[in-house]
Homo-oligomer: A and B are copies of this chain.
Amino acid sequence: MAQRPTMNDVAAQAGVSQAVVSLVLSGAHAGRASAATAQRVRDAATTLGYRTNLQAKSLKTGVAEIIGLVGDEVATSPFSGMMIKGAQDRAWRDGHTLLTIDTGGDSELESAAVETMLSHQVRGIIYTAMYHREVTVPAPALDTRVVCLNARDLDGQVPSVTPDEVTGGYEATRVLLDAGHTRIAMINIHDVLPAARGRREGYERALAESGLAADPDLVYKGEGTQRSGFEAARHLMGLPVPPTAIFCGNDRTALGVYQGLAEIGLRVPDDVSIVGYDDQDILRDFFHPGLTTVQLPFAEMGDRAAALVLDADAPVQTHLIHCPVIHRHSVAPPKGQ
Residues of chain A having any CB pair with chain B under 8 Å = 1-2, 4, 49, 51-56, 58-59, 65-66, 74-79, 81-82, 84-85, 88-89, 92, 97-102, 104, 109, 112-113, 115-116, 118-121, 140, 142-145, 226, 281-282, 285-286
B-chain residues with CB within 8 Å of residue A52 when the two chains form the complex:
119
Q: Which 8 A-B pairs have the closest CB atoms?
A: A78-B78, A54-B119, A75-B75, A76-B85, A76-B81, A100-B100, A97-B116, A99-B99
Q: How many copies does the complex hold?
A: 2
Q: How far is the CA of A30 from the CA of B286 in the complex (A)?
A: 66
Taking a contact as CB atoms under 8 Å apart, the answer to whether B100 and A99 are in contact is yes
Other than the given A100-B102, A226-B285, A286-B286, 5 more pairs (CB < 8 A) read A4-B143, A59-B59, A74-B75, A84-B102, A88-B104
Q: How far is the CA of A286 from the CA of B283 in the complex (A)?
A: 10
B-chain residues with CB within 8 Å of residue A112 when the two chains form the complex:
92, 97
Q: What are 8 A-B contacts defined by CB distance under 8 Å?
A: A1-B142, A51-B119, A52-B119, A55-B55, A78-B281, A81-B81, A97-B112, A100-B102
Taking a contact as CB atoms under 8 Å apart, the answer to whether A101 and B102 are in contact is no
Task: Among B81, B99, B142, point to the contact of A78 (Cβ < 8 A).
Answer: B81
Q: How far is the CA of A109 from the CA of B65 in the complex (A)?
A: 14
